[in-house]
Amino acid sequence: MKPGRLGSSPWLTVPLSLAAVGAFALAQPVLDLLGRNPEFFIARGFTAIDVILFPALLLIVPALLSFPVLALRWIGPRTAGIGHAIVIGALFSLFVANAWVALFGSDTSTLVFGATVAGAGILFGCVFLAFPVVQTGTVYAAWAVPIFAAWFLFMTPSGDVAMARSGDLPEAGEIQNPVPIVLLVFDEFPVATLIDSQGNLLGDLFPNLAELAGDGVWYRNAVGVRQQTEEALPSILSGIGADEGSIPISSDHPLNLFTLFSDAYDIAAVETVTDLCPDFACSNSSRRIAPWLERWTGLGVDLAVVYGHLTTPREVSGDLPPINQTWGNFTTGESSEFDIIDRFLANVDDDRRLEVDRLLDTFHFNGGEPALRFGHFLYPHHPWEVTADGHRTGAGSSPGGEGMGWTKDRWLVGQGYQRHILQTQYADTVVGSVMDRLREEGVYDEALVMVVADHGITIGPGVENQRLITEDTIGTIAAVPMFVKYPSGQAGVEPGTIDDVRAETVDILPTIGDVTKTSVPWTMEGISLLDPERAGRTESVMVGREGPVSFGVGGEEKLVAATLKESWFPGGNPWSLSPPGWEEWMDRPVSDANSTEDKEDVMVSIRQQDLLDDVPPDSDLLPVFISGGVTLDREATGQEILVASVDGVVRAATRVFEPDGRSARYEVMIPPELLHPGDNDVMVWLAEGDPSDPAFVR
> How confident is the model over 446-494, as pLDDT tens digits?
999 999 999 999 999 999 999 999 999 999 999 999 999 999 988 889 9
320 pLDDT band, cuts 50/70/90, is low
Q: What pLDDT is recorded for position 6?
A: 66
Q: What pLDDT is recorded for position 130?
A: 84
**Protein fold of 181-290+348-566:** Alkaline Phosphatase, subunit A (3.40.720)
Pairing of strands 547-551, 371-380: unpaired
Cα separation, 422 vs 399, in Å, equals 17
Q: What pLDDT is recorded for position 333?
A: 33
**Alpha carbon of 371 to those of 333, 441, 658, 663: distances in Å?**
47, 12, 54, 59
The residue among 272 and 285 whose pLDDT is bigger is 272
How is residue 397 annotated by DSSP? S
Q: What pLDDT is recorded for position 349?
A: 44
Neighbouring-strand partners of residue 249: 275
What is the average pLDDT across 620-626?
94
Q: What pLDDT is recorded for position 321?
A: 63
CA 510 to chain CA mean position, Å: 29
CA 336 to chain CA mean position, Å: 14
How is residue 142 annotated by DSSP? G
Looking at every residue in the chain, the average pLDDT score rounds to: 87
Q: Which one-letter amino acid corresponds to residue 87?
A: V
Q: What is the DSSP string of 550-598?
A: EE-SS-HHHHHHHHHHHTTSGGG-GGG---TT-GGGTT-BGGGSSEEE-
Q: What pLDDT is recorded for position 189?
A: 97
What is the average pLDDT across 247-274?
88
**pLDDT above 60: residue 335:** no
Spell out a b/e string for 54-72, using b for 16 or more CB atoms within 10 Å of the CB, else e.
Answer: bbeebbbbbbebbeebbeb
Cα separation, 182 vs 265, in Å, equals 12
What is the average pLDDT across 47-60?
83
The residue among 241 and 41 whose pLDDT is bigger is 241
Q: Which of 273-287, 459-473, 575-589 has the lowest mean pLDDT?
A: 273-287
**pLDDT above 90: residue 315:** no
**% of the chain with per-residue pLDDT over 90:** 55
**pLDDT above 50: residue 343:** no
Q: What pLDDT is recorded for position 350?
A: 65
The residue among 678 and 368 whose pLDDT is bigger is 678
What is the average pLDDT across 11-28?
85
Q: Which of 90-104, 524-538, 625-639, 654-668 has the lowest mean pLDDT?
A: 90-104
Q: Which of 328-342, 402-416, 479-493, 597-611 has the lowest mean pLDDT?
A: 328-342
**pLDDT above 80: residue 30:** yes
Q: Which one-letter amino acid corresponds to residue 415?
A: Q
Q: What pLDDT is recorded for position 595?
A: 86
**pLDDT above 50: residue 89:** yes
Q: Quote the pTM value.
A: 0.78
Q: What pLDDT is recorded for position 610?
A: 94
Q: What pLDDT is recorded for position 451?
A: 98
**pLDDT above 80: residue 292:** no
Radius of gyration of the chain (CA): 29
Pairing of strands 371-380, 266-270: parallel
Positive or negative: CA dihedral 336, 340, 341, 345: positive
Q: Which of 106-115, 237-246, 319-328 has the lowest mean pLDDT?
A: 319-328
Instruction: Note whether 225 and 504 are within 8 A (CB).
Output: yes
Instruction: Note whether 128 and 95 are within 8 A (CB).
Output: no
What is the average pLDDT across 598-618?
92
Q: What pLDDT is recorded for position 161?
A: 65
**% of the chain with per-residue pLDDT over 70:** 89
Q: Which of 38-52, 327-341, 581-595 has the highest mean pLDDT?
A: 581-595
Q: Which of 116-120, 185-189, 321-325 has the lowest mean pLDDT?
A: 321-325
Closest CA to 542 of 475, 478, 493, 491: 478
Q: What pLDDT is recorded for position 503?
A: 98
31 pLDDT band, cuts 50/70/90, is confident
Q: Which of 108-117, 277-286, 416-425, 526-535 has the lowest mean pLDDT?
A: 277-286
Strands (DSSP E) found in 584-656 = 595-597, 603-604, 625-631, 641-646, 649-655
The residue among 392 and 77 whose pLDDT is bigger is 392
The residue among 162 and 603 whose pLDDT is bigger is 603
Q: Which of 18-22, 59-63, 219-223, 250-254 has the highest mean pLDDT?
A: 219-223
The residue among 403 and 531 whose pLDDT is bigger is 531
Q: Which of 41-55, 224-238, 292-306, 669-683 has the lowest mean pLDDT?
A: 292-306
**pLDDT above 70: residue 413:** yes
Q: What pLDDT is recorded for position 348?
A: 37
Q: What pLDDT is recorded for position 345?
A: 47
The residue among 531 and 341 whose pLDDT is bigger is 531
Q: What pLDDT is recorded for position 222?
A: 98
